[in-house]
Amino acid sequence: MPTAKITFFTALLALVLISGCSSSAQVQVQSQFPQVISQPKPINGVIVFSEEFQNYIATPSKNTTIDLGVAQTNLLRNAFSGLFANIEFVSSSDQVSLENALIITPSVTEVQISTPSDTYLNVYEVWIKYSLDIADADGQQIDSWFMPAYGKTPNSFMLSKSNAIEEAAIIALRDAGAKLLLDFYRIPSVYNWVIEKEKQEAQK
Amino acid sequence: MNYSAILSGTLLIALMLSGCGATTTIDEYRPTTKAMQINSEESVVILGRRDAGHYDTDREFIDCVAKKMEGADIQVLPERQFIDSIYPWFEPRTAPKGLKRLTRLMKNPAIKKQVRNQKLRYLVWIDGSTNTHDRGGSISCAIGPGGGGCFGFAQWEKSSIYEAIVWDLSDLTEKGRLRVDSTGTSYLLGVVAPIPLLTPVKNDACTSLGKQLKQFFSVATNSAQNNSDSSD
């Protein structure tokens, strides 16, 4: 075989092998989340899931996108149902119909990832930073609560980059649900609002 | 000449394989030597600790220990099924680290109901990891138009350290602790083809821990349990 042909096939083989090492990943997070075990408070809550939030696609690095929209909406829908006895989900604040409700608008502030090539650790990690804008029925802001969530894969062995990031993102979303249920009523401004509401109800 | 070469080769391989055994030590602490009673309808769940920053107790190890325990007529609830059934109270952020927190959790009627529905009696926490260290030697592989091959020698040591803590959900007490420590060296020989001589350190730790945990429990049939209850 002529040398030119051997060189050509070797170059082609090398190109195919190198393209297999490409580090780009488009991740679609698809997961069913379990029903929360919780005793909701007798409070009205309206959750505003904007179109942007429901279709949110994060770009934590130039080669990676994570489609979180559907998964995070399902997760938060489930988690908020464990907080409020009466709950309404809307896509904009002008659709609110529940009276005397806490109106919560979640948004994603930032999504970060770290891969074994960044940290030299054998794990993939995902951080999702949420912001919850909490307002009363009159539209007065009660608080803007920063809610970070974190997830990591146990190890990266035999996992493709996409699968590993998806697994870490699912763990981060579950962590967001846990943080919300554990800490929401501990936010001082929300706690005070609830106490005030209870006092008003008692006076009626 | 041929026979002596074959014999020497076989001896060398046997010698190397004999070096591939793991050394496993188990420490056990129990307040009493009595086996823990478990009704044949009750179940045990084995959970991995995942709240440390630098390691996670891997699910593969938890599943392995669960399989080793199942053989003794003990019903073992799958870890994922239990964690999902009680979401979000056993996530890394929320899982109880001590009995005080568990007692507080069990005061929640919804959580208590879930535990009762699943007839869960014992909770076994496993915390630990398997690490590779003391790597040595080097091996290199090359490929060319005329063929390829690997030459060299590499070795590494693995250690598996896991601790298991058993909690009784009926009276919310700790029933015992087990610690397994397993180490072993693996080799990779490059003699044209790479020949791995691996020591199953993690598997040894899992088998030893599973067997020892099995001995903690004594399965009582319903009738035996009823008889003993009535005699009390």
The answer to whether position A114 is within a domain reads yes
Residue-by-residue DSSP string for B135-184: EEEEEEEEEETTEEEEEEEEEEEEEEEEEEEEEETTTTEEEEEEEEEEEE
Residue B148 lies in a domain: no
Give how many domains chain A has, as a whole number.
1
Question: Quick check: A17 pLDDT over 90?
Answer: no
Does residue A158 sit within a domain?
yes
Q: How many CB atoms lie within 10 A of CB B201?
A: 25
- Note whether residue B174 is domain-resident: yes
Residue A29 in domain: no
Q: A interface mutation test: which of B93, B101, B117, B130 has the most A CBs within 10 A?
A: B93
Please report whether residue A7 resides in a domain. Answer: no
Q: What is the DSSP letter of A44?
A: E
Helices and strands of chain B, counted as H and E runs: 7, 8
Sheet holding B23-29, edge to edge: B23-29, B173-197, B147-168, B120-144, B43-48, B75-77
pLDDT bucket at A32, cuts 50 / 70 / 90: confident
Domain for residue A46, yes or no? yes
Looking at residue B104, which CATH number applies to its domain? Answer: 3.40.50
Which residues span the domain enclosing B26? Answer: 22-130+159-181+201-231
Residue numbers in B near A181 (CB within 8 A): 88
Task: Give the pLDDT confidence score for residue B226 in this predicted structure.
Answer: 47
Q: Length of chain B in residues, anyone?
A: 232
Q: What is the DSSP letter of A138?
A: T
Q: Indicate the pLDDT class of residue B51, thresholds 50, 70 and 90.
A: confident
Question: Is B7 domain-assigned?
Answer: no
Model confidence pLDDT, tens digit, residues B147-192? 889 999 999 999 999 999 999 999 999 999 999 999 999 999 988 8
Q: Is residue A12 part of a domain?
A: no
Kindly tell me if the per-residue pLDDT of B107 is higher than 90: yes
Token match 């001082």: residue? A188
The encoded tokens of residue A165 equal 């990031």
Contact A66, A165 (CB under 8 A): yes
What's the structural domain count of chain B? 1
> Which 21-40 residues of chain A touch chain B by CB within 8 A?
33-39
A101-126 pLDDT per residue, tens = 999 999 999 999 998 888 777 788 99
* Residue A174: CATH number of its domain: 3.30.160.150
Determine contact, residues B184/B201, Cβ cutoff 8 Å.
yes
Residue B63 lies in a domain: yes
Q: How large a percentage of chain A has pLDDT more than 90?
A: 61
User: What is the residue range of A182's domain?
Assistant: 38-203
Peptide bond into B196 cis (omega under 30): no
User: Is A181 an interface residue toward B (CB < 8 Å)?
Assistant: yes
Position A33 confidence tier, pLDDT thresholds 50, 70, 90: very high
CB contact under 8 A, B87 and A177: yes
| B140 part of a folded domain | no
Residues with Cβ within 8 Å of B222's Cβ and at least 6 positions away in sequence, in order, are B39, B40, B41
Nearest CA in chain A to B53: A152
Residues in a beta bridge with B7: none
pLDDT tens digits, A144-197: 999 999 998 876 565 688 889 999 999 999 999 999 999 999 999 999 999 998
What's the pLDDT score for residue B192?
85
Check CB contact under 8 Å for B110 and A37: yes
Domain annotation covers residue B15: no
Contacts of A123 in chain B (CB under 8 A): 56
